[in-house]
């Protein structure tokens, strides 16, 4: 849908500054929605241990009310302490990893959409395709740019070797 919107904006002959403004506004609102969901999981990670401690306090109250029965102390203490464990597990194995993954996915999506915006605006400006490619490569980390260039160089070497083999035969 985002690519379709980008293309429709340039096909409708909207001036480049306006296209950039519209697309960056859309990107900003997408990111805001993602941040709200991410904050939900971050708050869950922050509150889970506290709820675990509340459960522990309630369990300790139950344990202390049966203080005259020594056989019930162990099971009641176990129940009291397990809630702290559950709170920590929920925070560290559920809420925090999801929040982290959502942040990573948001950053990746933002980068992809920024690349699309720059590419669409370059196409609209009528830039040379090779210049557009170089401009868009600048968004990528150097290790990915090197791999792309290495594949191109390898492809050219393979073609050269094939030509040499066919001419030698």
pLDDT value for 161: 67
Taking alpha carbons only, the member of 127, 107, 106 closest to residue 10 is 127
DSSP string, 20-82: HHHHHHHHHHHHHHHHHHHHHHHHHHHHHHHHHHHHHHHHHHHHHHTTT-HHHHHHHHHHHHH
Q: What is the pLDDT along the chain (169 residues), one digit of tens a residue?
A: 888 888 888 888 888 889 889 899 999 999 999 999 999 999 999 999 999 999 999 888 888 887 888 888 888 888 888 999 999 999 999 999 999 999 999 999 998 899 888 888 888 888 888 888 888 888 888 777 765 555 555 556 666 666 666 665 5
Q: What are phi and psi of 15, to 5 degrees?
A: -65, 150
Residue 82 Cα to chain centre, angstroms: 33
pLDDT value for 72: 80
pTM of the predicted structure, to 2 decimals? 0.68
pLDDT value for 146: 60
pLDDT value for 35: 95
| Cα distance between the two ends of the chain | 52
pLDDT value for 54: 92
Q: What are phi and psi of 66, to 5 degrees?
A: -105, 35
- Neighbouring C-beta atoms of residue 74, cutoff 10 Å: 10
């Amino acid at each position: 849908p985002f690519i379709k919107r980008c293309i429709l904006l340039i096909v409708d002959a909207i001036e480049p500054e306006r296209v950039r403004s519209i697309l960056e506004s859309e990107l900003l609102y997408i990111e805001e929605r993602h941040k709200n969901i991410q904050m939900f999981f971050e708050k869950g990670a922050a509150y889970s241990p506290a709820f675990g401690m509340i459960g522990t306090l309630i369990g300790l109250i139950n344990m202390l009310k049966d203080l005259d029965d020594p056989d019930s102390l162990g099971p009641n203490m176990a129940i009291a302490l397990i809630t702290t464990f559950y709170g920590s597990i929920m925070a560290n194995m559920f809420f925090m990893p999801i929040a982290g993954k959502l942040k990573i996915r948001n950053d990746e999506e933002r980068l992809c959409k920024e690349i699309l915006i720059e590419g669409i605006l370059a196409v609209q400006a009528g830039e040379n395709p090779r210049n557009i490619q170089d401009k868009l490569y600048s968004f990528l980390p150097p290790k990915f740019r090197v791999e792309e260039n290495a594949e191109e160089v390898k492809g050219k070497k393979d073609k050269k070797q094939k030509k040499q083999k066919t001419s030698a035969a």
